Structure 1
């Protein structure tokens, strides 16, 4: 008991030593640190509040106003990223969106990617593999859809389907499934070595929120096209899917390509948080416009002289 008391005292002293002095402004932690899945730690999604708003605006109105401000900065950084690619800069961004049905993958594409110039984006929604895709290794179709240099790529679902639904529906032997986590980690690490910034977002919603969103689709004729009776069958597998996500996030949140858990019951926070993550990563890249490879003054003089 005494040893435990000494340990607690030591922890308290260490915390006090790290605490900022009174009156000294505290710099807010980047959102990427707050939402990042710790590498190598056990994950329990039930411990994550899907209605929380870490470091976010106070309400929807403030979030929309902040999004408008971020939009200008995001558009500028996107243009600089694309411009830099014309001079040989290989860097690009890949945003991976995963989540249960109705978690907002399509909504994120609409509201967040809408802040960018669409000509510089490459969007791919992955469905069930085609017969051709089934004849290749599971990463084959992913590699074909990667963003080119200077682009921002968005995956609505991704290679993680091959360790999620494949696990829940037992589509492959467990021994083969187990190897896929390592293959994914090596694949993503190779992407980062080739200039790809990988941002993986798990859109975390509650079971109750999903029920409400499915009911809304039934209540509105203009949403019927989004509903599939099979969605109800999938809800019965909710615990199995949560476990599959926990395993995937736990095994594949790496230094090179970490996972971020995005509380997504509040759509306005989901959109704000993913926009903020994109902004933080693009600012870290800090792409620059390339210098002119020609004589600017000579070209100006020629134009002024009527050529």
Structure 2
């Protein structure tokens, strides 16, 4: 192509790539909103370029989005005072049928609480190398161009990141233990057993509840147990589910409409974090919840 490419042609070519770019950025940043911002920045940069001079538009856009994501990750670490507590990760709800999470392609491809914890332990360059290569099969030569390293150095970054992630992998027996802890919590909550709740809650447990009124945060086992011991007052159908591979529960009303989802993070035999969503708008965005039967 020679000369400037018509705006509508550039826009159409960009839209063809948008879905893939958002997926890359989501897995890098752990937030759909942040991913959309990164992709929008790529569009603004493309608009300032002579698109006809770009030989490989898909590669160029991947490079730009990757660099924008790295900048955003570095900015987060440089401003630790910035709060991300109200950021709700993308949630994928599936049936709890005792399968290992890694056996489920949907879970393996999602970005959720567990994966975000692992990825947050990585440096931005490690994170990008792992995500682009292992999730999107981007060659190390291309990754090297994005992060300003050689192909061999990029391969080493991905290998190091992979080892870090694998070190956090929890075996089947530990997953069963986590389920047992959550079951004990739910049983104590149903019966209003305050002492039973304290036994399975970490003293510094944090409960982040995304409600229609906004984010409500409770910290400390006493406060969490006090709220949980009241049990479920409404007429809801509650069943165990997996939320991004972690133990959780979902609730439906008598008409079969989803009313809530909750997931738990268990460390050392105690619950250290609870995440719940009852806000209807946020619930509507939870992947898989609407497709599960309420019974």
Decide: shared fold, TM above 0.5: no
TM-score range, shorter chain: under 0.3
Q: Which has the higher contact order (CA 8 A, sep 6+)?
A: 1
Instruction: Please tell me whether Structure 1 or Structure 2 has the larger radius of gyration of its CA atoms.
Output: 1
TM-score w.r.t. structure 2 length?
Answer: 0.27
TM-score w.r.t. structure 1 length?
Answer: 0.26
